[in-house]
């Protein structure tokens, strides 16, 4: 009787939308179906975060007094009220960003957003391990949408106060900080460590998909007036927030699946794949011991900080995100202000072209995840990608102006090597460390560990765009020198972990040779 009550309580915690689907179809969703739902919903949820975040970089050149906005690119007619509104900015920029210090002011807004974002990340991770992740993520998405849209409303309200736009971006950054710890924690609860790098590498394409979607939407909306470039992504993320609230299952325990046979098969498969690695039970296993550990208190900040590997990866991500976010916020601006084959591209065209960097990022994230799974070497993979990013950035700066095709090809390559380790560390590495053996299988450290690593990385993400705002005024060579130096430092910070992985592999090879030799000797004796 007590077990029936317990099962009923767990089932009632399922999201309303899933309960409605199961009631309408008169079927119970399988464990695999739940996993697919989790991947899809968290993918599009975080893609909408990045779509809302990307808009600022696209609108920069329109707000800046040196913008060269090209209108009339869309094939469909524009309503009269939009046609009238867009004429307000044309080539004159938008106060207060139309002065000589406009570029620096835009950089200050970027760093304010990312500073609040990185600070909020630490608190978001702490709260995420203690609150209902579905409601927490929904609140973050709705709040992000509101303040993103408020930034754009300054266009129609004719607001020219720097502090209005600064405040809107800071509050948007605060709500944005809820996203990453939440989605990684949810995915980590549903997927074990086997092939986690590949799964999360593919799943992490949401970052690039969101950037591409945000770029295309913002670029298209520029033809109607820059305010729409903020309002539309703001409405989009709020809509996805509703989807999260209705359909996202946080964990197998809360979903009350109870499919013991399928879970045993998953455990056997995980045991075969990880036998040589001596890794403890998978996250998706729900044995009695695992259930008890699930009830443990959430891990504190200092305890999570002491987990081996957290500090080196966090510092590496600091410099890795510095490079990645400098491209995120300044690449469209850089393209529109750099002559390619002697001609300057319009803001809309530059924004669309910049999406190729994110296309390369998708490829890089998948490759880094797959390679790290095959080699069982996260640090070696991340460091190698960072070192390869140095010549990729150099060639893009030197030869990117030769032609549009050369620029596009080099941009894809740079995106692959820059975003590959960034994607690997923020997904598979964070999930691995969040379930480290030193925690005794406690999965309630996932959001906290993810927040520490990505929060530290976000400080670098704030610093890069800020420095770029000042350095670019003297020339872009200095900016690329900063980016290449950051990539080098990011790789060097993983040196100790790389050496440890190499030593472990050498010992493993010696062990396998010794055992094979013993077998051969035994066969000869027989």
Q: What is the pLDDT of residues 6-58, one digit of tens each?
A: 433 344 578 889 888 888 888 888 888 888 999 999 999 999 999 998 888 88
Is the confidence at residue 491, as pLDDT, over 90?
Answer: yes
pLDDT at res. 9: 39
What is the C-alpha to C-alpha distance for residues 103 and 99, in angstroms, rounded to an integer?
9
233-258 burial: b if 16+ Cβ within 10 Å, else e:
bbebbbebbebbbbbbbbbbbbbbbe
CB 219 within 8 A of CB 233: no
Classify 500 as helix, strand or coil. Answer: helix
Radius of gyration over alpha carbons of the chain, in Å? 24
- Between 343 and 382, the higher pLDDT residue: 382
Is the confidence at residue 169, as pLDDT, over 50?
Answer: yes
State mean pLDDT over 477-483.
Answer: 94
State mean pLDDT over 349-376.
Answer: 87
pLDDT class of 453 with cuts at 50, 70, 90: confident
State mean pLDDT over 163-172.
Answer: 95
- Between 386 and 512, the higher pLDDT residue: 386
pLDDT at res. 380: 93
What is the C-alpha to C-alpha distance for residues 117 and 321, in angstroms, rounded to an integer?
13
What is the C-alpha to C-alpha distance for residues 216 and 355, in angstroms, rounded to an integer?
8
Q: pTM here? A: 0.69
Residues 6+ apart with CB under 8 A from 491: 316, 382, 383, 384, 386, 387
pLDDT in tens, 181-235: 899 888 878 876 655 667 777 888 888 789 889 988 998 998 899 999 999 999 9
Classify 343 as helix, strand or coil. Answer: strand
pLDDT at res. 336: 86
What is the C-alpha to C-alpha distance for residues 381 and 99, in angstroms, rounded to an integer?
45
For a pLDDT cut of 70, what percent of the chain falls above it? 77
Is the confidence at residue 123, as pLDDT, over 80?
Answer: yes
CB 82 within 8 A of CB 222: no
pLDDT class of 455 with cuts at 50, 70, 90: confident
Q: Per mean pLDDT, which of 126-130, 171-175, 329-333, 499-503 is the most reliable?
A: 171-175
State mean pLDDT over 117-122.
Answer: 85
């Amino acid at each position: 009787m007590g077990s029936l009550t317990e099962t009923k309580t767990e089932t009632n915690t399922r999201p309303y939308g899933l309960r409605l689907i199961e009631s309408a179809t008169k079927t119970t969703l399988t464990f695999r179906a739940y996993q697919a739902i989790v991947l899809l919903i968290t993918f599009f949820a975080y893609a909408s975060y990045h779509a809302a975040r990307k808009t600022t970089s696209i609108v920069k050149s329109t707000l800046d007094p040196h913008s060269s906005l090209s209108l009339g690119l869309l094939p469909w007619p524009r309503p009269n009220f939009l046609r009238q509104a867009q004429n307000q900015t044309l080539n004159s920029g938008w106060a207060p960003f139309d002065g000589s210090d406009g570029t620096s002011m835009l950089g200050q807004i970027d760093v304010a957003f990312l500073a609040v974002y990185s600070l909020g990340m630490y608190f978001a991770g702490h709260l995420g391990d203690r609150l209902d992740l579905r409601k927490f993520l929904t609140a973050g998405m709705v709040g992000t949408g509101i303040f993103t849209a408020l930034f754009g409303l300054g266009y129609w309200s004719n607001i020219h106060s720097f502090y209005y736009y600064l405040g809107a971006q800071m509050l948007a950054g605060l709500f944005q900080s809820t996203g990453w710890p939440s989605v990684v924690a949810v995915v980590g609860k549903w997927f074990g460590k086997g092939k986690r790098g590949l799964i999360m590498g593919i799943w992490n394409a949401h970052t690039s998909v969101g950037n591409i979607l945000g770029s295309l939407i913002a670029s298209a909306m520029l033809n109607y007036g820059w305010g729409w470039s903020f309002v539309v992504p703001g409405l989009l993320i709020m809509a996805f927030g509703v989807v999260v609230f209705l359909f996202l299952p946080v964990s197998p325990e809360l979903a009350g699946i109870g499919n013991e046979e399928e879970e045993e098969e998953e455990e056997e498969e995980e045991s075969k794949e990880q036998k040589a690695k001596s890794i403890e039970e998978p996250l998706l296993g729900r044995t009695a011991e695992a259930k008890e550990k699930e009830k443990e208190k959430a891990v504190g900040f200092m305890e999570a900080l002491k987990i081996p590997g957290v500090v080196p990866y966090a510092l590496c991500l600091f410099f890795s995100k510095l490079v990645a976010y400098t491209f995120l916020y300044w690449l469209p601006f850089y393209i529109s202000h750099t002559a390619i084959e002697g001609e300057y591209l319009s803001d809309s065209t530059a924004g669309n072209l910049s999406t190729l960097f994110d296309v390369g990022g998708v490829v890089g994230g998948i490759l880094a995840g797959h390679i790290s799974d095959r080699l069982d070497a996260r640090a070696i993979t991340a460091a190698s990608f960072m070192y390869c990013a140095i010549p990729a950035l150099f060639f893009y700066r030197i030869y990117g102006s030769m032609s549009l095709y050369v620029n596009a090809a080099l941009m894809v390559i740079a995106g692959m090597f820059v975003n590959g380790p960034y994607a690997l560390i923020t997904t598979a590495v964070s999930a691995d460390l969040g379930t480290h053996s030193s925690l005794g299988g406690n999965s309630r450290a996932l959001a906290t560990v993810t927040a520490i690593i990505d929060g530290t990385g976000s400080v670098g993400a704030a610093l890069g765009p800020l420095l770029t705002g000042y350095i670019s005024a003297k020339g872009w060579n200095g900016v690329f020198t900063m980016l290449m130096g950051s990539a080098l430092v990011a790789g060097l910070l993983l040196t100790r972990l790389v050496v440890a992985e190499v030593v472990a592999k050498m010992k493993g090879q010696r062990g396998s040779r010794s055992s094979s030799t013993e077998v051969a000797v035994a066969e000869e004796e027989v």
